[in-house]
Structure 1
Amino acid sequence: MSAIDRYVEAATRENTRRSYQSSLRHFEVEWGGFLPASADMIARYLADHAETLSINTLRSRLAALAQWHQTQGFPDPTKAPHVRKVLRGIVALHPATEKRAKPMQLAQLEKLTAWLDEQIAREADERERLACIRNRALVLLGFWRGFRSDELSRLRIEHVAVEAGRGMTLYLPRTKGDRAQLGTTFKAPALSRLCPVTAYEAWIAAAGLTEGPVFRGIDRWGNISDEGLHAGSFVPLLRALFQAAGLAAPDSYSSHSLRRGFATWANSNGWDLKMLMQYVGWKDVRSAMRYIDAADPFAQHRIESALATPGTAVQERPVIALPAA
């Protein structure tokens, strides 16, 4: 790989690069398209998959095709008016409700950590004990910091500093919202209970780690990997944890459940939107709002409170009899 290719590759997030490669493979190999493509070919590709792929997936495929044409020096066919019109037609004829991960509530976090504490206290198998200590740190840090799975997977010990009794500072050289790639520093508080700092310290001490990825795989013999957990492994890991701890509907959760759970908790506890966006790292208000569930989603409490207050009932207007003609 040349120096130029190496820098070009470094400019794209690994998850994005994998997604684009998968999209191009689907277009060329599975569908039988050719690159460079014409606008008509792109339009046919969209039409052929309009009923089987979500609109978000189709947009992701278009982004991959656009990026390939741009980097190879070809005109971008995805920007053609015909292609855009086909996409709008698909949205109109195949509307879909956006699927969102179920947010983890604080009560569920307490139940899960209590179950993990029980397993750590009584587990005779070293591998299982280490896994529970790691998972406790992963869940608590993921919740209280609102981290994405890829951010948790890329955390490194040398980029974490603990200040006893106050909290911890975590640095990530690259995050999704860091377009300038300047790196982002996060802070997590030390808490009286459900503390992410003590959970992190317990995991590092139990694993005997001094540098490298924070969260790693553990084989069946209890050996800890040198490599960090892959971001794609967090969803099955968390769902298995939720099921083992007895949480209802574990398959409705994902790694975003921790992020959405914290955002919902903060919103219901009086955090204003600006404070929440700054803490979590959102740059766009629309992105933040997608993660927040209202404390009273059906407005039941608000309406019932009004109904219970005397004098709030709507007064019936008197019927005025009209004189006979």
Structure 2
Amino acid sequence: MTTLDTYIHAATRDNTRRSYQSAVRHFEVEWGGFLPATADSLARYLVDHAKSLSINTLKQRLAALAQWHIDQGFPDPTKAPVVRKVLRGIQALHPAQEKRARPLQIEQLEQVTQSLDQTIAASVHAGHRPAQLRHTRDKALLLLGFWRGFRGDELTNLQVQYIKVVPGEGMTCFLPQTKGDRLGHGTTFKAPELAKLCPVTAYLDWISLAGITEGAVFRGVDRWGHVGESGLHINSLVPLLRSLFAGAGIAFAEQYSGHSLRRGFANWATSNDWDIKTLMEYVGWKNVQSAMRYVDGADPFGKDRIGRALSTVTPQLPDTER
């Protein structure tokens, strides 16, 4: 790879690159399409997957195929009217409600943390270093992910050399690339030091125990207690979280995902009187629509508001009783 190729490669987030490569492979290998593609072949591809793939997945596949054509110097067939019309038709005939991750509540966060503390203590007592390492890592990942409202890829991309701890205050985490950072300037996030459920203490416990001084923060640990050189793969995060939740006795553990920490924090913040502007600045959302997707109303069914209103209504007597 030349120096030019290195810089071009660095311009795209690894998560985006993997997603686009998967989409192109699905079109070309699994479906049997040919690249460069025609607008008609893309329309047929959409039709063949209209019932099996969500509209968001189809849009992501088109974005990947559009980028492939642009990168290779070919006209973009995804902009053709027939492709756009087919996509709108699929959306009209196969409407789907957006699936949202179940938010991790603060009580559940405390429950999982207490479970991990007990497991860590038992591992230390038994002299089982691999288990001690894994559960110390998991505690740091859980608390930092929640209190920072991190996405899964942001957690797995954290690097020790970009993290600074200010004793008694908190920590700053610099990420050279994030989803919302279109200009590539990098983003700095801050996490507070807390009296309980502290992400800073958990982070320091983990890197001290693992002896990590640079590179990925969260890494795999093998059965002999060897800490890996590379970071956890993004695909391992959801199974890891679900395993933690199930082990702590959290109901419906299989319904949680990497976004559960982010949604959980957003709901905790709004229930503690954070206004939407403060929440957006803290988490890093650029627009209100993105933020509101993660926030559940305090009274989602309107039961309390309607109930209070009904309780103030004075019943009207029939005319015969007046």
TM-score (norm 1): 0.94
Equivalent residues in 2 for 1:205-284, closer than 5 Å: 205-284=208-287
Larger C-alpha radius of gyration, 1 or 2?
1
Partner of 2:135: 132
Alpha-carbon spacing, 1:89–1:214, altered in 2? closer, same or farther (3 Å): same
Alpha-carbon displacement from aligned partner over 1:221-240 (angstroms, at most 9, x marks no partner): 11111111111111000001
Partner of 1:100: 100
The one-letter amino acid paired with 1:214 is: V
Bigger drift between 179-188 and 296-305 goes to: 296-305
Bigger drift between 101-110 and 126-135 goes to: 126-135
CA distance in 2, matches of 1:201, 1:228: 17
CA distance in 1, matches of 2:58, 2:317: 55
CA distance in 2, matches of 1:58, 1:253: 24
| 3-state secondary structure, aligned to 1:214 | coil
Partner of 2:76: 76
CA distance in 2, matches of 1:20, 1:201: 36
Equivalent residues in 2 for 1:51-70, closer than 5 Å: 51-70=51-70
Partner of 1:110: 110
The one-letter amino acid paired with 1:72 is: Q
| 3-state secondary structure, aligned to 1:64 | helix
The one-letter amino acid paired with 2:46 is: L
| 3-state secondary structure, aligned to 2:298 | coil
Alpha-carbon displacement from aligned partner over 1:107-154 (angstroms, at most 9, x marks no partner): 000100011111111222211111111111110000000011111111
The one-letter amino acid paired with 2:98 is: E
Partner of 1:201: 204
CA distance in 2, matches of 1:255, 1:229: 13
Partner of 1:170: 173
Q: What is the CA-CA distance between 1:304 and the residue it aligns to? A: 2.5
Q: Percent identity?
A: 64
Q: What is the CA-CA distance between 1:301 and the residue it aligns to? A: 2.1
Alpha-carbon spacing, 1:314–1:18, altered in 2? closer, same or farther (3 Å): farther
Alpha-carbon spacing, 1:35–1:166, altered in 2? closer, same or farther (3 Å): same
2:4 paired with 1:12? no
Q: What is the CA-CA distance between 1:317 and the residue it aligns to? A: 9.2
Q: What is the CA-CA distance between 1:81 and the residue it aligns to? A: 1.1
Alpha-carbon displacement from aligned partner over 1:283-305 (angstroms, at most 9, x marks no partner): 12111111111122112222223
Q: What is the CA-CA distance between 1:31 and the residue it aligns to? A: 1.1
The one-letter amino acid paired with 1:5 is: D
Q: What is the CA-CA distance between 1:4 and the residue it aligns to? A: 2.8
CA distance in 1, matches of 2:243, 2:277: 34
CA distance in 2, matches of 1:5, 1:168: 34
CA distance in 1, matches of 2:16, 2:314: 55
Q: What is the CA-CA distance between 1:156 and the residue it aligns to? A: 1.2
Q: What is the CA-CA distance between 1:255 and the residue it aligns to? A: 1.1
Q: What is the CA-CA distance between 1:319 and the residue it aligns to? A: 6.7
Q: What is the CA-CA distance between 1:315 and the residue it aligns to? A: 5.5
2:229 paired with 1:192? no
Alpha-carbon displacement from aligned partner over 1:85-121 (angstroms, at most 9, x marks no partner): 1100000000111111100000000100011111111
The one-letter amino acid paired with 2:107 is: A
Partner of 1:293: 296
Q: What is the CA-CA distance between 1:306 and the residue it aligns to? A: 2.9
Paired residue total:
317
CA distance in 1, matches of 2:211, 2:120: 17
CA distance in 1, matches of 2:5, 2:194: 45
Note the aligned Cα RMSD (angstroms).
1.5
| 3-state secondary structure, aligned to 1:291 | coil
CA distance in 1, matches of 2:84, 2:310: 49
| 3-state secondary structure, aligned to 2:293 | helix
CA distance in 2, matches of 1:252, 1:173: 31
The one-letter amino acid paired with 1:304 is: G
| 3-state secondary structure, aligned to 1:298 | coil
CA distance in 1, matches of 2:88, 2:252: 35
| 3-state secondary structure, aligned to 2:52 | coil
2:154 paired with 1:151? yes
| 3-state secondary structure, aligned to 1:171 | strand
TM-score (norm 2): 0.95
CA distance in 1, matches of 2:10, 2:3: 11
Alpha-carbon spacing, 1:96–1:208, altered in 2? closer, same or farther (3 Å): same
Q: What is the CA-CA distance between 1:316 and the residue it aligns to? A: 4.6
CA distance in 1, matches of 2:122, 2:31: 53
